[in-house]
Amino acid sequence: MAHETLGRLCLVLGGILIIASVCPARASAAATEAQTLRRIMQEIEELKADKERDEAKIQTLEQKVGEIQDQNQQLKAANQKLQTDTSTKIETLQTKVDAPMAPSQFGDVFDRYLGTHTFTVTGAAGGNFTYDQQSSAFNDLHHGSQNSFFADWEPMILYRPTDWILFQGVLSAGFGSTGTGTDLSTADFQIFVNNYLTVVAGLYDQPFGDWYEDQSPMWVNRFVTAPLPFGVEPVVPPGEIGVQLRGGMQFGKLGQDFDYTVWGGNGPNYTSSVLGAAVSSPTAVANSQTNGKSIGARFRIYPLPLDLEMGRLELGASTYDGKWTNGKWLTSWGVDFNYFIDNLQTRGEWLEAYRQMPNGQASDNRQGWYLQAGYFLNGLNVPFLSDTLNGYLHRFEPLVRYSGVNQRGVSTDDIAGATGVGMGGMQVGLVPDFGVNGSPSTYAPHAREVALGLDYWFAPSIVWQNEFDLELPHAGGVFVSSTGAETPVGATPNDRAFLTQFTVGF
């Protein structure tokens, strides 16, 4: 009985052990299945989200395809309309071409060919006061300190009937040493043939050198007066009537340019056939009948490219030759330069002329030169001055110029009544005029002049100019009377003059 009870107890304990070992295994399997189910549900949710995004993209693409189809239809409609309109216009034009032009339409067609007519008035006007201190007598010439007010008006008329033609005319009118006077200094046509050739015909400033054509206008000239070889004793004629051919081209980098001018005209003329007679320019038609015609050429080069930032340099050479009377030649040549860098401006010129004389006289040789420099003060700031005062200081430009002439002789008739050197080409003589200080020393065969200038620029074309001239001529040479009698020139006085001028370019 005891053994039977013990056996039953062992069976019960064994069953318990078997159940205890099986239950944990089933619990672990159940946990694994739950994790797998959760992962499957998560992937299902992600697939649903991907499907919704794909459906949204498909919907967007379908909308864009619809818009493209609409635009395509619009383009087809516009293209069809353009083809229809073009065909209609071609048929209309063909009808107009085939139909004869009515006389009333010819004027309209010709006006369209000429282009837009433009008419412009520009130029300059100025007022001047000159004080001339003549220190002593000069070979019995009249002398005396003088002071006067002057006025000058130089309108320039520009008329352009079409793109390829320009007319330019310049008048000088004002109140000078002999009262009111007028003069026609320029009247020419400029025909623009192409980018490399322009034809100029008429009355024009002499292209010789750089002064007459580019620097002589009153508001362009940095000084009130002209350098001596372009003033009362010009070495070459200031003007010419004839024909020019001119043009230019770029030969290298930007800024490296070359230009040329060649011309022919009525030729040079002088007030008389004596030694030292003044140039009379331009030559009148009556005088040109006994002269040969003139020829001239000027060549300029700009060697410095802009990207070097070394300033702007111009080098020029000129020649002018012609018969001033039957069989007698004037031969002249010159070189010039301009150099600008930052606020510094410099320029200068050298020129010579040789005139054959009649009756076995020695040739009438002349030389002239000038050198000038100016500096704008717009880069100068004085520390103890206010901004306002520095602003005024920036408008000033101090200048200096040295000029001179060498001649064998000078005609006394031209000194007593010089023509073509003052306002309007009127007779000036030994009195001041607009742009002429009137000093007898400037007529010396070996005249020298130092000019000091101070300009105040209100605007690029409005300037108040002040100039102090100191005449430093050398003795030598002769004065020549109308009969050809020569008188040696002795000591020459060091005259002084002050000129102030207000000029407006418009």
Domain ranges in the chain?
A: 117-505
Residue 19 has pLDDT above 80, yes or no: no
Q: How far apart are CA 284 and CA 17, in angstroms?
A: 149
C-alpha closest to that of 500 among 405, 445, 448, 435: 435
- In the chain, the largest separation of any two C-alpha atoms, in whole Å, equals 189
Tokens describing residue 412: 């006394």
Q: What is the mean pLDDT of residues 451-458?
A: 96
Q: Which helix (H) or strand (E) holds 498?
A: strand 496-505
Residue 77 has pLDDT above 90, yes or no: no
- What's 433's DSSP letter? B
Q: What pLDDT does residue 405 have?
A: 95
C-alpha closest to that of 125 among 150, 148, 149, 154: 154
Lowest mean per-residue pLDDT among 394-403, 416-425, 428-437: 416-425
Other beta carbons less than 10 A from residue 386's beta carbon: 9
Lowest mean per-residue pLDDT among 27-36, 116-125, 477-486: 27-36
Residue 154 has pLDDT above 50, yes or no: yes
Q: What pLDDT does residue 301 have?
A: 96
CA atoms within 13 A on the CB side of 125: 8
Question: Quick check: 211 and 349 in contact, CB under 8 A?
Answer: yes
Q: Is the dihedral of CA 33, 37, 43, 44 positive or negative?
A: positive
5, 131, 148, 346, 455 from 375: Cα distances, Å: 137, 26, 29, 9, 10
Residue 500 has pLDDT above 50, yes or no: yes
218, 284, 294, 353, 368 from 280: Cα distances, Å: 21, 9, 14, 15, 17
Higher-pLDDT residue of 46 and 430 is: 46
Residue 419 has pLDDT above 50, yes or no: no
Per-residue model confidence as pLDDT tens digits over 287-319: 666 777 899 999 999 999 999 989 999 999 999
Residue 74 has pLDDT above 50, yes or no: yes
- What's 377's DSSP letter? -
Residue 31 has pLDDT above 80, yes or no: no
Q: What are the φ/ψ torsions at residue 420 (nearest 5 degrees)?
A: 75, 15
CATH fold, domain 117-505, is Porin (2.40.160)
Lowest mean per-residue pLDDT among 127-141, 192-206, 374-388, 459-473: 127-141
- What's 473's DSSP letter? P
Q: Which helix (H) or strand (E) holds 398?
A: strand 396-407
Q: What is the mean pLDDT of residues 460-484?
A: 89
Q: What pLDDT does residue 16 have?
A: 52
Q: What is the mean pLDDT of residues 118-126?
A: 87
Q: What pLDDT does residue 21 have?
A: 53
Total residues found in the chain within this entry: 506
List Cβ neighbours of 42 (8 Å cut-off, separation of 6 or more). Answer: none
Higher-pLDDT residue of 240 and 108 is: 240
Lowest mean per-residue pLDDT among 139-153, 369-383, 440-454, 486-500: 139-153
**CA Rg, the chain, in Å?**
46
Q: What is the mean pLDDT of the chain?
A: 83
Q: What pLDDT does residue 371 have?
A: 97
Instruction: Find the angle CA(351)-CA(356)-CA(359) to the nearest 5 degrees.
Output: 150
C-alpha closest to that of 117 among 164, 169, 167, 162: 162
Q: How far apart are CA 352 and CA 332, in angstroms?
A: 5
Per-residue model confidence as pLDDT tens digits over 233-279: 899 999 999 999 999 999 999 999 999 999 999 989 888 888 888 88
Q: What pLDDT does residue 72 have?
A: 82
Q: What pLDDT does residue 293 have?
A: 87
C-alpha closest to that of 420 among 259, 284, 267, 285: 284
